[in-house]
Amino acid sequence: MQLIDALSSALPVIVAALPYVCYGFLALLFLSGIIRMALIARATVALKVHVQSLRSVDYRRFQDSDHVMPVSLVLPGVRETESLKEQVENLLQLDFKQYEVIVVANSANTTAWNSLQQSYSLIPFHQPFKKTLQASEVLAVYRSAKDVRLVVLDVKDTNIAGALNAGVNVSSYPIIAPVYPGFRLTKDALLKMIYAFVSDSACVFMGSFPRIGTATEGEDQKPMPMLAQHQYLERLRLMYTNRSGYQTYGLYLPLSKSFATFLKTALVEAGGFSNRAKSETADLLMRMHAHQRKEKRTYCARLLPDAVCYQLPEKTMRGVCLRLRSGLREMRDTVRHNRSAARLLGGAAYTRLAEHVWPVVEFLGVIVVVASAALSAVPVLFAVFYLLLGILLGGVQSVLATLLEEYAFQRQTDTGLLLGRYVLSILAQIGFRVRMTLVRVFS
């Protein structure tokens, strides 16, 4: 009773203060809009320089070169219950002179195992290897009679880090590239990634920003379902507005399970993949940063902005939310386990701001402005304009990100598809993006 009395006596004061709070949120809305636009502009300049520098040295010369560094692709498929055939097929079709594909699988998952056995005629092979890293126990090594580049390890464990370490132990080449199930690489993916190592001897890591897609370039591009298109557009918006979050690391922490390449010596020095981490790649990268800095070495870890890898889209909204939540959880876990490195690099703070703080501010802003209008603290038109501005600013950012991707990386412009994406970028602001913001707020 007392509380109600106190509230009713404080209400006039709250109502009187609400317009100023609304102005504050409006200022924040403008500020976030300006910052994001500036980041897109910065990303545009950086992309231009990147594309020009790749063109001037013509990295494609390395396609048939003997001087390119060979790569070991490691696919940790120990938890996969579905067929791995399509994914392995994709990995064996890359345009790259010398590489091997090491699939770490569990023969107990019969569908996955049989898909490999039948498609690639696996032969048990007596292969001694150096146990450099602590890894899952390898029960048997198989090689393919159809493709000598394929090596399959049978492990009992379902630990991803252990599987990756087993792959590293068996690998023969100086660059290690973990590829998670559910990803597809473009044909020139390795060439573009490895060029960074060849041109810069200080390079220890190269990350990528996975796009969302069902097929890689060159294959029949079937139109993606609406939900997949939404995921694709959201991914582009993240990439072009959050550059500060990944340029210091070489990896966008909430999307750490993507295609990346490590210099093997640096990977081994940092202790390999850890099974206590929720995101093996991000955790290892943080430890690598810490180790290189501790040793006072000149090194670099970068992110390749090109569309070299595609993540298969989630088929349901629930799946999309789960993926986003698990990405954020993995980021928190990685930062918690590597606090000192995260503090030194700074990118994690920005990512946290972009992934947690801004969504909360946006959400609170909408609640406060709508409540203020309901309490007649501000005119209803103010609330309408506030919401409209939020939608338009978000729409412009998404549209710019889509057009930038089209300008820089698409080799063939399909105007129908682009038109659809343009419209969807705007419509997403009142549907898909609201849902994503809510997931971010309540994750």
Partner 1 sequence: MHLQMMMNLMAGLSIVLGALLALGLLLLLLLHLTRAVDNRRVQKMREQLLSLISGAAQSKIMKNHIYEMVNPGGKLDRLSDIKGIRSARGLIVMAETAEELSGAAFEKLQKEAGGEWYGEYIRKLFDGVDEETIALAVKLIGALQLTNYTPDVVTQIYCCRTTAQMQHVGMLTLCMLGAERDIVALCRDHTIASLLSFRTLEEIFSVYNGDLKRLCRKLITSASDPYIRRTCIKTIGEKRYEDLGDLVLPHLIHGHINTRIDAARTLGQIHFDMAHPYILKNAEDARWEMRAVVATALGAFDIATDEETLLQLLCDREWWVRYRAAESLAQTNDPVRMMERAEQTGDRFALEMMRFALERRQLMRGEAV
Residues that bind partner 1 in the complex, under the rule CB under 8 A: 19, 23, 26, 49, 51-53, 55-58, 61-62, 65-69, 123, 125-130, 143, 145, 148, 198-201, 378-379, 381-382, 385-386, 388-389, 392-393, 395-396, 399, 403, 406-408, 410-413, 415-416, 418-419, 422-423, 426
Task: Decide whether 127 or 340 has the Cβ nearer to partner 1.
Answer: 127
Task: Decide whether 308 or 324 has the Cβ nearer to partner 1.
Answer: 308
Task: Decide whether 269 or 333 has the Cβ nearer to partner 1.
Answer: 269
Task: Decide whether 6 or 375 has the Cβ nearer to partner 1.
Answer: 375
Task: Decide whether 44 or 274 has the Cβ nearer to partner 1.
Answer: 44
Task: Decide whether 10 or 123 has the Cβ nearer to partner 1.
Answer: 123
Task: Decide whether 427 or 439 has the Cβ nearer to partner 1.
Answer: 427
- Least distance to partner 1, CB of residue 406, Å: 6
- Between CA 51 and CA 74 the distance in angstroms is 28
Strands 261-263 and 183-185: unpaired
- Least distance to partner 1, CB of residue 240, Å: 15
- Least distance to partner 1, CB of residue 201, Å: 4
- Least distance to partner 1, CB of residue 198, Å: 5
Angle between helices 317-337 and 432-442 in degrees, nearest 10:
40
Strands 203-208 and 261-263: antiparallel
Give me the sign of the Cα torsion angle 135, 141, 147, 149: positive
- Least distance to partner 1, CB of residue 143, Å: 6
- Between CA 410 and CA 186 the distance in angstroms is 13
- Between CA 69 and CA 99 the distance in angstroms is 9
What contacts 104, CB < 8 A, 6 or more positions away? Answer: 74, 75, 76, 77, 78, 136, 152, 153, 155, 163, 164, 166, 167
What contacts 42, CB < 8 A, 6 or more positions away? Answer: 243
- Least distance to partner 1, CB of residue 6, Å: 28
User: Residue 325 in contact with residue 443, Cβ under 8 Å?
Assistant: yes
Closest CA to 362 of 80, 41, 137, 26: 26
- Least distance to partner 1, CB of residue 220, Å: 19
Which strands form 183-185's sheet, in the order they lie side by side? Answer: 183-185, 309-311, 211-212
φ and ψ of 419, to 5 deg: -65, -45
Task: Decide whether 312 or 389 has the Cβ nearer to partner 1.
Answer: 389
| Burial classification of residue 441, based on how many CB atoms lie within 10 Å of its CB (0-12 exposed, 13-18 middle, 19 or more buried) | middle
Task: Decide whether 69 or 133 has the Cβ nearer to partner 1.
Answer: 69
- Least distance to partner 1, CB of residue 388, Å: 5
Task: Decide whether 130 or 318 has the Cβ nearer to partner 1.
Answer: 130
- Least distance to partner 1, CB of residue 421, Å: 9
- Least distance to partner 1, CB of residue 369, Å: 11
- Between CA 262 and CA 281 the distance in angstroms is 10
